[in-house]
Structure 1
Amino acid sequence: MSQPTQEEVILAEQAKKEAAPGPETEYQGLSQGQIVRKRFFGHSGALVGLAVFALIFIMAFTSVGFAGIPGWWKYNHVDVSPLVNDGVPSVSLWPLAWGEHPFGQDRIGRDLFAMTMRGAQQSIIIMVIIGAIAGLIGAVVGGLAGYFRGWVEAILMRLTDVIIIIPVLLLAAVVAQMANRRDAAGWFSAFAASNGVVVLGIFLGLVSWVGLARLVRGEFLTLREREFVDAARISGASNARIIFKHILPNAIGVLIVNVTLTMSAAILLETALSYLGVGVKSPDTSLGLLISQNQEAFATRPWLFWYPGLFIVAICLSINFIGDGLRDAFDPRQKKFRAKSAVETGRHSSETAPSSAAPGATSTGSAVSGSPADAGES
């Protein structure tokens, strides 16, 4: 029986690879929405982040109530009660117990669980406002500048450069001070006095889109030169259709990831402002304000730091994991690496390589080994 030639072995391996199920056959017959959902729910990190954020969101907005709707927790962030066990947290893992004050109490007897849930509400509200405003403005400005170029790009990018040099922390402090003035006249002061967090979120959103606009512009500059955009332009598609139907779906991964990073940075910025005393003011509270108010009690009551800090870290990490999963789900160029199939392919290649290379290796080896001998004899 004759041995198969090397060309026959290579053709057989290519046929097996084409017959094996790949990303194209896996998503064959599915709509774009079904493909996005399948990719997202196949991302373990995104599912963990979604579960953690959903738990925090439900706890924060149902426990102490929101917008006049009462919650299921018996205390709120301003109620003062007698100290129980000197304010030590009553939660216990073994034996499992929740207790009267699971996160403990501060020095005057306020329930830390209620204050932490109220602070998480403020952080989530600011995060959503900043993410929506910055994402919308950044996508519009960056997309228009990257697609149309010319004078449109020059005007929008110079506007971006001007906003970049604005000291955001200083202006945010000024806006926060205006929002907390109770004696000022005017519609802005009246609105800001009762909606300080909303005003702060809107302002930070209006100055936080510049980095996103630059990234979207760069992505549009690359995609506008691709073949599918040229084909759509030749077929008579309008600029709006090319932008929203062809370019934006391919740039959605960059947009989503940077929006989630902006939202995480918004939480940290609000925390820093509240820690410096120019963010949320008493009698309201936030996660950063809780840390600032209890910084002197770090050595004696460390739980006043750990719980607000833990919620800040949990919210930021969960948002980043969700954004990473959405990027992988929306990116049409993203291919999932399959470790099991890669190992099986490598094992199959190592098994077929010796048999296919045996004839060539023998003749080559004899030729190579014969060359020095001939040279020595001559």
Structure 2
Amino acid sequence: MSQPTQEEEIVANRALRDAGTGAAEPESAGLSQGQIVRKRFFGHTGALIGLAVFALIFIMAFTSVGFAGIPGWWKYNHLDVSPLVNDGAPTAGLLPPAWGEHPFGQDRIGRDLFAMTMRGAQQSITIMVLIGAIAGILGAVIGGLAGYFRGWVEAVLMRITDVIIIVPVLLLAAVVAQIAGRRDEGSWFSGFANSNGILVLGVFLGLVSWVGLARLVRGEFLTLREREFVDAARISGASNARIIFKHILPNAVGVLIVNVTLTMSAAILLETALSYLGVGVKSPDTSLGLLISQNQEAFATRPWLFWFPGLFIVLICLSINFIGDGLRDAFDPRQKKFNAKKAKDTGGHPVEASPITAFDGTKDD
């Protein structure tokens, strides 16, 4: 492998130096921040594949069996019982291509597995979105305030975080499920939980899933608050709110997005574990985790009852992770791609140094 010439080293060093000062590439010149984010995201192959897979699952789940009283296009729902076709085996096939009456098969009593899987995907996606939204907001706010203000604010918020961390989530979920199941007491919480179980579960898990994200955001804020661009913003008279939202948060958004997406994908696995233990979504409703729990004994004789819900759990988790990776690369101002050959052809300009790096505090307008 040949060593780079002195001219190539000079060009590379010049490009890296320009990238560190936030010099914009000609292709990005004149583009707004939103345009640059879209350009980066749609240039990420894995993120586009993940987005396509998740969009397909989302559309199928919420249109096939209906949602919130709106009927779907599939002729069965997760409660309908019909005579067994082909002894309950899947009627879909690849060679020759076929869909059939029950493409995913049926359980022992004749319920359509496709309808149950789509209903389970609805529930799992709803829980995932609730947990991601609540945990993301709480984690960003609490971690950001603790990392920026330090002192007694950090001490109080971090001690609250420590208390929540040491309490087992499964134990709390079991207690909440027990309270929600006491119909004879007639409390408002029991009545609301029995009619909105999926909402209660999602909100509860979101309220206890933000602690890890808060600690990561706090660490990121502790590092960024000491940077030169933050000092320049303070000297120019910027308020604390402007420094946090205009200068620090855009530089921490990569950590925030990646960990929110990881939390969302972990939420499905957590819901699966809770349903497996009997404290999550309960019959007659269903979820992907509950389907796996109910059909684990049929794995040897009717494996399709286990594999289809498991496949959708894996696809949803992977697609969310790929989308998060693409969003991280699109939003993070420190993400740059350098190509020495192209830098040489363009006179030393970096290949991709986005104008998003203007969030350096040197100009507080």
Q: TM-score, normalised by structure 1?
A: 0.85
Pair 1:14-2:11 in alignment: yes
SS in 1 for 2:139: helix
Structure 2 counterpart of 1:138: 139
Alpha-carbon contact 1:176-1:196 (below 8 Å) kept: no
Structure 2 counterpart of 1:223: 224
Structure 1 counterpart of 2:273: 272
Aligned length: 337
Q: CA deviation at 1:179?
A: 3.0
Structure 1 counterpart of 2:359: none
Q: CA deviation at 1:11?
A: 8.9
Q: CA 1:338–1:83 in 2, change beyond 3 Å: closer, same or farther?
A: farther
Alpha-carbon contact 2:136-2:210 (below 8 Å) kept: yes
Pair 1:294-2:291 in alignment: no
SS in 1 for 2:74: coil
Q: CA 1:338–1:180 in 2, change beyond 3 Å: closer, same or farther?
A: farther
SS in 2 for 1:47: helix
> Which residues in structure 2 correspond to 1:7-156 (within 5 Å)?
10=7, 14=11, 24-156=25-157
Runs of 5+ unmatched residues, structure 2: 347-365
Q: Which has the higher contact order (CA 8 A, sep 6+)?
A: 2
Q: CA 1:59–1:338 in 2, change beyond 3 Å: closer, same or farther?
A: farther
Alpha-carbon contact 1:271-1:287 (below 8 Å) kept: yes
Q: Aligned-residue CA RMSD in angstroms?
A: 2.4
Q: CA 1:16–1:297 in 2, change beyond 3 Å: closer, same or farther?
A: closer
Q: CA deviation at 1:228?
A: 0.7
SS in 2 for 1:25: coil
Q: CA deviation at 1:341?
A: 4.8
Pair 1:244-2:245 in alignment: yes
Alpha-carbon contact 1:90-1:103 (below 8 Å) kept: yes
Alpha-carbon contact 2:257-2:324 (below 8 Å) kept: yes
| Partner Cα separation in structure 2 for residue 280 and residue 28 of structure 1 | 51
One-letter amino acid of the counterpart of residue 300, structure 2: A
One-letter amino acid of the counterpart of residue 130, structure 1: I
SS in 1 for 2:25: helix
Q: CA deviation at 1:338?
A: 4.7
Structure 2 counterpart of 1:329: 330
Q: CA deviation at 1:190?
A: 0.8
Q: CA deviation at 1:337?
A: 5.1
Structure 2 counterpart of 1:197: 198
Structure 1 counterpart of 2:177: 176
Q: TM-score, normalised by structure 2?
A: 0.87
Moved more, 179-188 or 289-298: 179-188
Structure 2 counterpart of 1:208: 209
Structure 2 counterpart of 1:261: 262
Structure showing greater Rg: 1
Q: CA deviation at 1:13?
A: 5.7
SS in 2 for 1:275: helix
| Partner Cα separation in structure 2 for residue 221 and residue 98 of structure 1 | 56
One-letter amino acid of the counterpart of residue 268, structure 1: L
| Partner Cα separation in structure 2 for residue 170 and residue 45 of structure 1 | 37
Deviation digits for residues 159-209 of structure 1, max 9, x if unmatched? 111111111111112212333444331111111010011101111111111
The sequence identity of aligned pairs, in percent, is 85
Deviation digits for residues 302-338 of structure 1, max 9, x if unmatched? 0001100000000000000000000000111101355
In terms of fraction of residues, the more helix-rich structure is: 1
Alpha-carbon contact 2:11-2:344 (below 8 Å) kept: no
Q: CA deviation at 1:10?
A: 3.3
Alpha-carbon contact 1:179-1:199 (below 8 Å) kept: no
Q: CA deviation at 1:62?
A: 0.4
Q: CA 1:108–1:11 in 2, change beyond 3 Å: closer, same or farther?
A: closer
